[in-house]
Amino acid sequence: MSLQVAGVPIEDTFAEAFDMKATRLIITAETIDWARDAAAAMTGFGTSVIACGIEIAVERELSPEETPDGRPGIAILAFTVSSKELEKQIPRRAGQCVLTCPTTALFAGIQSDKRIALGKQLRYFGDGYQISKLVDSRRYWRIPVMDGEFLCEQDTGRVDAIGGGNFLLLGRTLTDVSVACRAAAAAIAPLADVITPFPGGATRSGSKVGSKYSGLFASTNQEFCPTLRGVVAQPFDDQVKAILEIVIDGMTFESIALAMRVGITAACESVGVDGLVGITAGNYGGKLGRHHFHLAEVMK
């Protein structure tokens, strides 16, 4: 008998993920609302490296007891395929989205010998009026702004990470798969060290590598588009009317595996076999990435 969760069959396959570079940032503010506003702006247009250059989302909200300055805060995780892209994206987003937001401060959320500039670049906005201070061997910049000062740490750490963990929900109706997807995303949201960067945690535009059009290096994965049944060969039957995918980026293999297990379990339990035909995962036969999340192992 195949592996099942709440009666929903789990296909004997694997999700294929690849190496990425990552960092964590901590935004604090006078109120959690301002911190949320800054985080929303900073993580905007950050769903996929295919076109955004970065995959970035809120990891979790932080209590005042968990932040460097004792104020409400938000932890953000950001992932790119190269160090160079991370070094470009983070200072730009910090300058345009956190420096600009009332009452905010910005801190390193991870320590590493490899660094990504924060205040090191943003200090120049102070036009010579910025002030530097060293506290416990960590450098901070105080940049004058109209509501007081923007406090920003000099830099943050950069670490190796993993992107592209995934699972696909095969639904009997669009409503069923939407409910299951929401349940999966909600279950993953509290977990540390992972993000689901697509809108609401899910994507409907599952992609493949390459295209019939020159210059386009990713395009729709026609094998998983139910409306193309009868036009192209597909790995599921006509019970499947809609498919949604959860994509997970994480700091470690173990954190992604946990998120997949928690998300798949929540999705299956939310609608059962009456709502889901099955669970599968996206891969390219092991040719895209070296990290393979076998569903049978993950669900153990």
Predicted confidence pLDDT, tens digits, the chain (300 residues): 589 999 999 999 999 999 999 999 999 999 999 999 999 999 999 999 999 999 999 999 999 999 999 999 999 999 999 999 999 999 999 999 999 999 999 999 999 999 999 999 999 999 999 999 999 999 999 999 999 999 999 999 999 999 999 999 999 999 999 999 999 999 999 999 999 999 999 999 999 989 999 989 899 999 999 999 999 999 999 999 999 999 999 999 999 999 999 999 999 999 999 999 999 999 988 888 999 999 999 998
Is residue 181 a contact partner of residue 246, using CB atoms and an 8 Å limit?
yes
Among candidate residues 41, 82, 80, 39, the one with its CA nearest the CA of residue 60: 39
Cα 115 to chain center, whole Å?
Answer: 20
* Residue 254 CB coordination number (10 Å): 10
DSSP 252: S
What pLDDT is attached to residue 1? 52
What pLDDT is attached to residue 285? 87
What pLDDT is attached to residue 242? 97
For 291, phi then psi, to 5°, come to -100, 115
Structure-block tokens of residue 78: 């950001």
Burial class (CB in 10 A: 0-12, 13-18, 19+), 273: middle
Domains of the chain, earliest start first: 4-16+161-298 (3.30.70.520), 21-159 (3.30.70.520)
As a whole number of Å, the CA-based R_g of the chain is 21
